[in-house]
Structure 1
Amino acid sequence: MKVTFLNPPQTNSKYKFLGVVAPSLGIGYMAAVLEQHNIDVDVLDASALELTYEEIGEEILKRNPDIVSISALTPTIGVALDSADKIKQVKPDTIVVLGGYHPTFEYKSVLEEESVDVVVRGEGEYTLLELVRTIENNGDLFNVEGLAFHDENDGSLIVTPDRPIIENLDELPFPAFHLFPMEKYRILNITTNVATIITTRGCPMQCSFCSSAALHGHKLRRRSVENVVNEIEMRLMEQNIDTIAFMDDTFTLNKRFVKEFCSEIKKRDLKFWWGCTSRVDTLDRDLLQTMKDAGCITIFIGVESADQQMLEKMNKNITVSKTENAFKLAREVGIRSIASCVIGMPEDTIKSMKQTIKFVKKLNPNYALYSLATPYPGTRFYNETFKKNLINIKDWSKYTLINPVLKTVDCSSEELRKIQKKAFIGFYLRPNYLIRQVSTDGLILLKTIFGIAKQLISKQTNGNTDYNKTNVNKVGK
């Protein structure tokens, strides 16, 4: 059989807003596992290639797959379903499989669509492999763990037992990025030789809004240092990359691992720049210096809020003082920092949001992201806000972190938009900030910052999308 992996067109998410188009690690791993078992696979990245639905249909006819596997996040579920519709129109006998964060938790509503045959729930590598083999051999899908589908006899919903998580991540082959249009990926709308790598799955933290822990669980599973560095060495040799973005929820969670990783990088004399995510309570000067000496240039840190009570309601388990210290240390060591905060939580007031925005400026990071609180299916945050009837908007395409979807204490949706816009403009268009960034990162970044500001001023963050069709407006039950 032949399997085509489809990454659907990108909606107006924060990634499109910031000019980020990156290869899907999930698709990369699943494609690699199928290749490892001699299954014919290819990848159609409609987001990177900027394909229309008609062009997706043409590509499916040309590639002629037996199975199309579509990955979907919550804001992309509408375009994923519309892509499935187009596939069924041009090639009705194709088996359409949906997987990813959103289908895992909203499989009931996803399977209401006639164009979707099967949903893969949870980690998809071995579930999809077994699904393909079962279809090849005319076997019974009832015996495949991790699926949801409708019984072809009576139409009843079938949910097979959950598939156990993959305990040994080293057993997975490296993502099959040779199948991707690597020349099409970019950051800040700048084409760059960047690779994305993940070293862990699962997160032991209890943040209420985390969809990653909802999918992968709270048990932290980690690849070995040798396995990670072997992948890096291979990518440096075969793909001519110069930058690596580590996509872990918290790369610095285990200091011993980070130090061993940095030591191995230096031991093999590998030269590349890299960035990662972190928590303020996992950082100290020694660790940051070790990371910088091994090529780390940027660290993404979740600030979330300047209100300690708000942090506690999020189950963030950090303090404002630790946040201040972490950014101070990063600045002194010379690693660029990205401060990420969330505004528009149900208990947020105009006063508390302005306090957070002011606090981020005080931290003096190199970059700042002001996301609007967004409850994703599968998270404790979603369940709580759904039960309390705090969700204003049921259109999944608006769940992009740049659209207000929740009720707050004293702020309308329009006021939230204005607060977010002022936060971005107030941070990025400060004269002192612009002078500092030009001196450190050059005119290309300055041009990008003005591009972001232009989008904000022209109100392009209101959630409109070229793909806003009927399926986009569906809401989970």
Structure 2
Amino acid sequence: MKLMLIVPPNTLEERYGSLSGIGTLYPPLGLAYLAAYAEEKGHEVKVIDSEAEGYGYEDINKIAKKFEPDLVGMSTYCTTLNKAYRVAENLKKIIDVKVVLGGAQATLEPEKTLSNKNIDFVIYGEGEKSLGELMEVLNGDVKEFSKVKGLVYKNSKGEIKVNKKRELIKDLDEIPLPARHHFPMNLYHSSANLRGKRTLNIMTSRGCPYQCTYCAGSLIFGTNFRFVSTDKVIEEIKQMRDEYKIDSIQFYDETFTVNRKRVIELCDKMIKDKLNLTWSCFTRVNLVDKELLKKMKDAGCYLIFYGFESGVQRLLNMINKGITLEQSLKAVKMTHEVGIETWGSFILGLPSETKEETKETIEFALKLNPTFIQFPIAIPFPGTKMHEQALQHGKLKEDWDNFTAWDEVVYVTKGRSEKELKEAVKNAYKKFYLRPSYIINRMKSIYKLPIKNSFALAKAAFLTFIK
């Protein structure tokens, strides 16, 4: 069969709003894994990354008409769902093709996602095996869609049927390396790019044992932490280094240090093989210690992204973050002491958050003093626990095209206003990045640190929120 995987038309401006100048654009690893899996099963694959290529709907139509796919797949989140619907509608006017949607939005609301007349199937949860089996059924004489786990489809009467959930893939080594060769690799970049260097992303684990109310990750990949073997991770890193001439990588794992022993093993292997790459990762403040951080630093780690989320313990408990303010302070202190930079994130406008608590969070951010910081506005994504909390404590817009954490306010808790919340975000950036001490420290370190755009976030924050 001929499979076409499409990233719907989207721009960095639409994704990041006024912060698009520092927005990350990485190859979509979910589609890269699907492409690799389909190729391994003998199918012909074509990928269109409209966001990277700058393609519009007509461009997609022209490419699809020439390729003539049997099946089109798109991975969607709430802000791109309507665009995926439009792509499907356009394609069905010019070619005879089936369309399947997957990804976060399809997993969170599978039946609602399939209700659009131009969508034939939805895959929820991990997609590789479900997509493979769907293609087998489509390629066969008997269309027994009911046997494909993780699939949502319409029967002969047009009724929506939801099949049993597919078991998570236990051994991630079973999945072939992402088919990056199908993507325009020269067009991708990181928001924390290295000075004169090239950074790409890699995912070495799936699942997160933590269940923060705002996160949809565990709904897709489960709460059972599974990881790729160290040897296969090193193989992929070397492939990326040799084929795409990278000097730095970003580990896209949701929580990189869940398994401490595994991280140390991987770091030791990176040091032994003399990869000489710098890297960054995402993790939690309660999952680091001084010894581990030193090992990570020795292996090339230069930046850790921490989700602090709030400076109010009540709110941390409400969103089920599972950390304390003291743990955040200790983690940042240890990280800086070993010479690793920190990038922190605080969510403003959480359900039931008062105006005074927003101020407390901003003050805590100043006390914490990470190297870089961001203040996204709370987004209660459909299907998450926070969505339920939001409906209890305030008003929530349903225009998914605007569900971006940077510019648009889609939720306002009781007693607050959209205008006041936007002003709070502006004030937060102003207080953090325009401190004389911060500016002086950045000036001192800009030539010592391997970060190209040390001032990029500060500049974007100034132009966006402060001017």
Tell me if TM exceeds 0.5. yes
Distance 1:452 1:183 in 2: 27
Distance 1:318 1:455 in 2: 31
Aligned-partner SS, 1:274: strand
Match of 1:112 in 2: 115
Q: 1:96 aligns with which of 71, 96, 99?
A: 99
Q: 1:249 aligns with which of 251, 254, 274?
A: 254
Distance 2:54 2:286 in 1: 40
> Alpha-carbon deviation of 1:32?
0.5
Aligned-partner SS, 2:396: coil
Q: 1:174 aligns with which of 169, 173, 177?
A: 177
Contact between 1:434 and 1:446, CA under 8 Å: does it hold in 2? no
Aligned-partner SS, 1:175: coil
Kindly provide the CA deviation profile for residues 291-331 of structure 1, in whole angstroms up to 9, marking residues without a partner as x. 00000000000111111111111111111011001111111
* 1:276 is aligned to 2:285: no
Match of 1:135 in 2: 138
Distance 1:64 1:237 in 2: 33
Match of 2:431 in 1: 426
How high is the TM-score relative to the length of structure 2?
Answer: 0.93
Aligned-partner SS, 1:400: coil
Kindly provide the CA deviation profile for residues 340-393 of structure 1, in whole angstroms up to 9, marking residues without a partner as x. 11110111111111111121122111110111111122322223434x273420
Match of 2:343 in 1: 338
> Alpha-carbon deviation of 1:44?
0.5
> Alpha-carbon deviation of 1:394?
0.6
Match of 1:67 in 2: 71
Q: Give the AA of the match of 1:142.
A: S
Match of 1:300 in 2: 305
Structure 1 residues 3, 441: closer, same or farther in 2, change over 3 A?
Answer: farther
Match of 1:450 in 2: 459
Q: 1:148 aligns with which of 138, 148, 152?
A: 152
Q: Pairwise mapping of residues 1-400 of structure 1 onto structure 2 (< 5 A)?
A: 1-10=1-10, 12-14=14-16, 17=20, 18-91=22-95, 93-138=96-141, 139-151=143-155, 153-188=156-191, 193-386=198-391, 388=392, 390-400=394-404
Gaps of 5+ in 1: 459-477
Structure 1 residues 218, 68: closer, same or farther in 2, change over 3 A?
Answer: same
Distance 1:369 1:189 in 2: 13
Contact between 1:438 and 1:446, CA under 8 Å: does it hold in 2? no
Kindly provide the CA deviation profile for residues 159-190 of structure 1, in whole angstroms up to 9, marking residues without a partner as x. 11111110111111110011110111122396
Q: Give the AA of the match of 2:348.
A: I
Distance 2:275 2:424 in 1: 44
Aligned-partner SS, 1:75: helix
Q: Give the AA of the match of 1:436.
A: N
Q: Give the AA of the match of 1:9.
A: P
Kindly provide the CA deviation profile for residues 250-294 of structure 1, in whole angstroms up to 9, marking residues without a partner as x. 101121111111101111111101000111111111111110000
Distance 1:209 1:41 in 2: 34
Distance 1:351 1:290 in 2: 40
Structure 1 residues 242, 335: closer, same or farther in 2, change over 3 A?
Answer: same
Aligned-partner SS, 1:6: strand
Distance 2:69 2:442 in 1: 48
> Alpha-carbon deviation of 1:452?
4.0
Aligned-partner SS, 2:152: strand
Aligned-partner SS, 2:201: strand
Structure 1 residues 433, 147: closer, same or farther in 2, change over 3 A?
Answer: same
Aligned-partner SS, 1:257: helix
> Alpha-carbon deviation of 1:448?
5.5
Provide the alpha-carbon RMSD of the alignment.
1.9
Contact between 1:148 and 1:158, CA under 8 Å: does it hold in 2? yes
Aligned-partner SS, 1:371: coil
How high is the TM-score relative to the length of structure 1?
Answer: 0.91
Contact between 2:126 and 2:220, CA under 8 Å: does it hold in 1? yes
Distance 1:260 1:447 in 2: 34
Contact between 1:185 and 1:192, CA under 8 Å: does it hold in 2? no
Q: Give the AA of the match of 2:105.
A: H
Aligned-partner SS, 2:383: coil
Distance 1:355 1:204 in 2: 28
Gaps of 5+ in 2: none
Aligned-partner SS, 1:418: helix
Distance 1:290 1:269 in 2: 14
Structure 1 residues 379, 447: closer, same or farther in 2, change over 3 A?
Answer: closer
Aligned-partner SS, 2:394: coil
Q: Give the AA of the match of 2:288.
A: L
Aligned-partner SS, 1:70: strand
Distance 1:125 1:69 in 2: 12
Contact between 2:121 and 2:152, CA under 8 Å: does it hold in 1? yes
Contact between 1:186 and 1:192, CA under 8 Å: does it hold in 2? no
Structure 1 residues 192, 53: closer, same or farther in 2, change over 3 A?
Answer: farther
Kindly provide the CA deviation profile for residues 109-129 of structure 1, in whole angstroms up to 9, marking residues without a partner as x. 222212111111110001101
Distance 1:425 1:30 in 2: 42
Q: Alignment identity in percent?
A: 35
Distance 2:342 2:137 in 1: 48
Q: Give the AA of the match of 2:265.
A: E
